[in-house]
Amino acid sequence: MHVFLAILRCVIAIVIAYLVVFVAALVNILFERRTLAFMTDRLGPNRTGWQGVLQSVADAFKMMGKEDFAPAQVDKVVFTLAPIMVMIGAVSIQLVIPYTKGWVGQDLNVGLIYIIAVTGFTVLSILIGGWASHNKYALVGALRAAAQMVSYEIPMILAVLVVAMTVGSLSLNAVVALQAGYKWLAFYMPFTLLIFYIASIAELNRGPFDLPEAESELVSGYNVEYSGMRFGMFFLNEYAGLTIMSMVVVTLFFGGWQGPWANALVIHRIALVPIVWFLIKTYVLVFLLVWVRLSLPRLQVDQLMGFAWKILIPLGLANIAVSGAILLWAPHWHLVMAIYSWVALLVFVGLFDIVLRWRLDRQRKKVAVLA
């Protein structure tokens, strides 16, 4: 009987994971289109269904109806494999995220490491997809993606390490439990949050880090030769990524499902109200991602890599050292950590612009117009 229940639980978890990925992708596509339209003084899609809610569904059906086309010279096996593989990361992450009190697909005791590990699958499929396409734009995009995602995984891990040290466990349930009573880690370690957030945007290939598919340079990058539902899989994965990455950030830094009236409505030991808090927090962050995308221009490859290796990784290492010292020796780590992290955040944000401006001006002065 226990075996049967375990299998049932497994199946339900996987079904929910797929549902969340697909529904989140469709919702996010519409959400982003309408939000961008609002921000740029347009209407956006508002014809299909009430206020355009069916637009992404219609688009999905359109993509499924298209010819399953592969260019002549592609590597057929790999070309087909890439869009199938691309979803692995997004779906697998779902299995360890605690949606609510009493529901998590599998409370792995290495949840944090697991998340980092399965995120890497996305870069693999982008790389092989771009390589198999036999197209120069796709190849450049794929190589950019590989370089970028491998580089930004490091600051991401460095930030996650601080969380793990603080919690004393790698289980996501433990991370959420520690943040009960509004002791969200975001309040105590905003600097770590910033590092994690920047790295996670880069992992998502979102603006300003959307170099792999920079449409003004590479047309659409690694997926340029894909069409129909093969392209659709890349597209869905990218947009599902918004929600998934926001869910991870919420779980790690914003108290996960924690919120008022957590026990108001409980069915089979699964609390339902916290799901709402979880979703609200997630979509606030998704909105932030859309906002960031619209308000920042794209970085350049060397600037992007320089930012990861010269700024984020050293800062992440320093952050680990200081946070570790505080956790080890400070009697009340909450207060000391909060003071350190807020000061670090403000100094970083305040100085970054000034130093950059100064460096750029100095470089610019060297440029001679008068030959």
Nearer to other proteins, 263 or 363 (CB): 363
Contacts of 115 (CB under 8 A, 6+ apart): 93, 96, 160, 172, 248
Nearer to other proteins, 87 or 214 (CB): 214
The nearest distance, CB 353 to other proteins, in angstroms, is: 5
Please list the alpha-helical segments (H only) found in the chain: 2-39, 55-65, 76-85, 87-94, 111-132, 136-167, 172-178, 185-188, 190-203, 215-218, 228-253, 273-295, 301-306, 313-329, 333-366
**What span, in angstroms and rounded, lies between the C-alpha atoms of 100 and 102?**
6
**What span, in angstroms and rounded, lies between the C-alpha atoms of 28 and 285?**
12
Residue 345 burial class via C-beta count within 10 angstroms: exposed 0-12, middle 13-18, buried 19 and up: middle
First to last CA, the chain: 85
The nearest distance, CB 302 to other proteins, in angstroms, is: 7
312 φ, ψ (degrees, to nearest 5): -65, -45
Nearer to other proteins, 144 or 281 (CB): 144
Nearer to other proteins, 265 or 360 (CB): 360
The nearest distance, CB 298 to other proteins, in angstroms, is: 6
The nearest distance, CB 311 to other proteins, in angstroms, is: 12
The nearest distance, CB 207 to other proteins, in angstroms, is: 4
Nearer to other proteins, 267 or 368 (CB): 368
The nearest distance, CB 296 to other proteins, in angstroms, is: 6
Nearer to other proteins, 126 or 160 (CB): 126
Region of 135 please: left (phi>0), alpha (psi -120 to 50) or beta. Answer: beta
Contacts of 305 (CB under 8 A, 6+ apart): 147, 148, 151
The nearest distance, CB 227 to other proteins, in angstroms, is: 16
What's the token pair of residue 316?
Answer: 């992440």
Residues that bind other proteins (CB under 8 A): 36, 39-42, 136-137, 140, 207-208, 210-211, 214-217, 219, 293-303, 352-353, 356-357, 360-361, 363-364, 366-371
Nearer to other proteins, 208 or 324 (CB): 208
Residue 58 burial class via C-beta count within 10 angstroms: exposed 0-12, middle 13-18, buried 19 and up: middle
